[in-house]
Amino acid sequence: MRKQSYFKQKSKVVFMIGIQLLLALGLVSGSAGAASAGAGSGYWTAAQETHDFTVGNLLTSYHSYRTSIGDHTTTEWYNASQIYADAAMVRLGDSSYLPYLNDAYAFMSHMWDFGSPIGGYFALGNIDGTGAGGDKYVDDASLTGNAYLDAYEATSGTTQTNYLNSAIAIANWLMNSGLWDSTSGGGFWWTTNKTIPGFQIKGSEVNALACQLFLRLYRITGADYYKQWADSIYDWLNSEMLDSNGLYNWEYDQGCGCVQTAQFTYDNAIMIEVNLLYKDITGDNAYLTKAEALATNMNSVLWNTQNSNGAFIINTWDPRLSPVYSGWASQSFIKLYEADGNIAWLNTARQNIDTLNDKLRNTADLGYYSSWSPAANAVDDMTCRTVNQAWMQRVQALMSQYGKNGKASKDKKEQSPKHGKNV
């Protein structure tokens, strides 16, 4: 899950118990209910259409997702992002997405390191589940854990327990990976391959996603060690990565012994969500104030209106728009709206989505390209990757809950998604 070349592919245990139980149950137990909360919303329709594109062009017969159309590799964080997207659909009441959710979860067992006593996911493998190996990444693992916790919230019974146990197994890997040390005052290294220049980094997004996972596990289990880990990460981010302009910088780079000062939309969006979790757990409104300040600063620094009605850029060094790195902010701003009721955050989330739809969606097949350049007023990467589709599906599902006035969408008309064939 990397932003050094932003769209480049990266070269047993509680988890296995969960997978085996899920397989034994036929991958179908969970919550029911066919009508979605935002079924009449244009955003819900777009989320359905995006899922249909993914099923028709990127889903394989092995229940993995290709990195891009025609590719024969799959990655942890692309599969996890699609799980995250489908969990949103199920949480909003459409159980027809549950088999996709659970099938992808079952496939993920092929990427787990059963040869290690602490497990962990490999980043890359073949679409048939063979060939997984090599490096492991803290941000990929943490995103996967968060996706599983969304799936936990969308399911019930044994299936729900399996998702929780798998998230716990990921957290166990993080805590025992040896990737946290005192260099630059603390923080997780990005990857197990931290001896090679360019990989010797401790990023804000890397650590923020881990903090988010630990906080969510603490909220569910009450285990103090999760809160202790989250607090250590949060303190490090605020002492080492928070800039004087109120936004978080990119990463500590051991190569230069310095902090790289690019500021990414999704790094800061994730920190909005971290602060909202702290507010929920502690009841301290100071965290809500911090989340609001981050959002205000993001609007000032990372919002771009060149040749568009406005959207969040990838980062201050790269002012392009991306379904993932720009789109992520809509999720965070929706959550902020849900926390404080300020309609301005919801309107920003909506405009961000609308611009991404306008600039990055193929109007013929309804898939999403990888990036659009405001300066050139043109798509500059036409690759249709799974992760692009997953994030646009997810944020539009989340947006479908709300009308223009911020109230829950009142049009509950049922729609049945037209799922395509596997390729």
Please give the single-letter amino acid code of residue 139.
Answer: D
Instruction: Please tell me the predicted confidence (pLDDT) of residue 408.
Output: 76
Do the Cβ atoms of 89 and 97 come closer than 8 Å? yes
DSSP annotation string for 280-318: HHH--HHHHHHHHHHHHHHHHHHEE-TTSS-EE-SBTTB
CB atoms within 10 A of CB 407: 10
**Confidence at residue 312, expressed as pLDDT on a 0 to 100 scale:** 99
The segments of the chain whose pLDDT lies below 70 read 2-40, 409-423
Q: What is the pLDDT of residue 41?
A: 87
Beta strands in 42-131 (DSSP E): 73-75, 124-126
What φ, ψ does residue 67 adopt, rounded to 5°?
Answer: -65, -40
Token pair 């603390």: residue: 186
The pLDDT, as a whole number, for residue 2 is: 53
Domain 26-177+414-423: give its CATH code: 1.50.10.10
Q: Quick: pLDDT tens for 304-330.
A: 999 999 999 999 999 999 999 999 999
Residue type, 17: I
- Chain centre to alpha carbon of residue 9: 16
For residue range 196-222, what is the model confidence (pLDDT) as tens digits?
A: 888 999 999 999 999 999 999 999 999
Cα distances (angstroms) measured from residue 250 to each of 3, 214, 229, 236, 340? 9, 21, 21, 13, 28
Q: Maximum CA pair distance of the chain?
A: 57
Say what the pLDDT of residue 324 is: 98
* pLDDT computed for residue 407 by the predictor: 76
Note the pLDDT of residue 405. 85
Distance (Å, whole) CA 310 – CA 353: 10
**Between the CA of residue 43 and those of 50, 165, 394, what are the distances in Å?**
10, 32, 10
